[in-house]
Amino acid sequence: QEQLVESGGGLVQPGGSLRLSCLASGISLSSAQTLGWYRQAPGKAREWVARILWDGVPRYLDSVKGRFTISRDNAKNTVTLQMNSLKPEDTAVYYCNVELILRTVWGQGTLVTVSS
């Protein structure tokens, strides 16, 4: 019953914007310790992109600071990643992650391709 479903990925031009959403089912985000986004580019290692704690303070990967914004909406059980000024190196499969007290839950991923 615990599921995370990402949406909003697709093809976008360099310099463009995209908004990713993660819908949680069977999970109360109010009980989550950390909500975050993770990505893996083709042929490269996976990396954390952004995370937000219950206190609402966000943290970002240095390469996306000033361009990406993570937010949460407990009422809608969603976590959002607003991506602006996209670059080709942002191309990756993006995953939503929720850290609970005893386990973590992952989404299936959504592909973002930044190319002209």
Which pLDDT tens digit goes with each residue over 1-45?
899 999 999 999 999 999 999 999 999 888 888 999 999 998 999
| pLDDT tens per residue across span 70-99 | 999 988 999 999 999 999 999 999 999 999
Asked if residue 98 lies in contact with residue 35, where contact means CB atoms within 8 angstroms, the answer is yes
Asked if residue 68 lies in contact with residue 82, where contact means CB atoms within 8 angstroms, the answer is yes
**SS3 (DSSP) at 16:** coil
**SS3 (DSSP) at 112:** strand
